[in-house]
Amino acid sequence: MGQGHGWEGAVLRLLRAKDFTCTVTDAEDVTPDYRRVHLTDGGMLAATGIHPTMWVRLWFDNAGRPHQRAYTLVDPDPAAGAFSLEFALHEGVASDWARAAKPGDTIEATVHGTGFEEPDPAPTHVFAIGDPASLPAVNSLLAALDSSPATIWFGGAADGLPFRTDPARHEIRTGDRLVDRVREDLPGLLRVHPDAYVWIACDTATTRTLSSYVRKELGVPKDRMHALGYWRAA
């Protein structure tokens, strides 16, 4: 990891994070506000292995200062040494990089802190709460828990986004007022599926609110839920 990664890079270096340089091979606009970038991995996947919802920290230049953001791997292929990333586009240096990404561009990536523990026993139902920023992780989660039907609450615009869901097994509930909708829907659903698995990946504030609600008010055990803030609202 280069010295240019600042104090965050220094901390990750002490934690034995692994660093790689990835190269863009192609990019495509899925929608005007959602872009997929294909990359070679610089030996990353062979060194680290892969698991569901695996993510990497990417390092961007922000007016000469290091800026890191985490992204879930899409279709990681260790044999080919390649993967893709999907960006929900908005204002910011990460989105600016994704908009301009072209073959030959490089980006530094750090692997540290990512992991996945499959719930045991397998849940009779999965309740996932996400938004465009966490859609790749939602898709990866559903693929990993493919024996379990799922209900997905999705905040933000969903039209045209690459959901990898099966209409026969996965229900997507979209619309505004994400926290209110989950509070209205989830208690009754948990009574039907008391051994369900609850997975929350939204902006930090929403994730914190819903995680506290699910644990403290609905009484879902820690080993039957997972919550991680995927971005911070400005």
Which CATH number characterizes residue 83's domain? 2.40.30.10
- Cα separation of 78 and 80, whole Å? 5
Q: Establish if 145 belongs to a structural domain.
A: yes
Dihedral angle sign, alpha carbons of residues 155, 123, 217, 212: negative
In 19-134, which residue ranges form alpha helices assigned H by DSSP? Answer: 44-48, 93-100
Q: Which of 41, 32, 39, 27 is nearest to 101 (CA)?
A: 27
Q: Mapping DSSP to helix (H, G, I), strand (E, B) and coil, where does residue 231 land?
A: strand
The CATH number of residue 148's host domain is 3.40.50.80
Task: List the pLDDT tens digit at each of the 234 positions of the chain.
Answer: 444 555 454 444 434 568 999 999 999 999 999 999 999 999 999 999 999 999 999 999 999 898 999 999 999 999 999 999 999 999 999 999 999 999 999 999 999 877 888 899 999 999 999 999 999 999 999 999 999 999 999 998 899 999 999 999 999 999 889 999 999 999 999 999 999 999 999 999 999 999 999 999 999 999 999 998 877 765
Residue 14: the pLDDT is 38
Residue 97 and residue 180 in one domain = no
Cis preceding linkage at 132, omega within 30: no
Residue 18 and residue 83 in one domain = yes
**Residue 135: domain span:** 126-227
> What is the pTM assigned to this prediction?
0.89
Do residues 145 and 54 touch, judged by C-beta distance below 8 A? Answer: no
Residue 99 and residue 20 in one domain = yes
